[in-house]
Amino acid sequence: MKILDLFIKILKYTFVLLLQLQQTDTSFTLDMQTIKQSETMPSHISMITGLTQENHKFYLNSIDDETPPLTSETLFDYAIDNNYSYYAFLTKNKLLYLL
């Protein structure tokens, strides 16, 4: 067996183990559906509120000092209300608006 073949086998095995760990130690779904809008912020707000863009009424893709606060209940509100904790890794400052 070539070293590259062995390396690929190890990677596949490790990936499967990581997926199994995620399924037992975290929340996940295999039934995700896409939403109509394609702008980043409205889409993310739909994902964390469960509302369509027409219901959460957020149409902009940017956040500034004039942006009104998010008033819809989010997954984060649910977590806090039920004594759960959550962690977020964000790569853009504008995504802090979602928390």
Q: What is the pLDDT of residues 36-94, one digit of tens each?
A: 656 888 888 988 898 888 888 888 888 888 888 888 899 999 999 999 988 888 888 88
Secondary structure letter of residue 67 according to DSSP: P
What gap in Å lies between CA 76 and CA 86, rounded to an integer? 7
Higher pLDDT, 34 or 43: 43
Residue 13 lies in a domain: no
Domain count, the chain: 1
Q: What is the pLDDT of residue 74?
A: 92
Of 66, 80, 76, which Cα lies nearest the Cα of 45? Answer: 76
| Reported confidence tier of residue 24, pLDDT bands at 50, 70, 90 | confident
Residue 64 lies in a domain: yes
Residue 18 lies in a domain: no
Of 96, 52, 45, which Cα lies nearest the Cα of 74? Answer: 45
Residue 33 lies in domain? 29-98
Residue 80 lies in a domain: yes
Residue 46 lies in a domain: yes
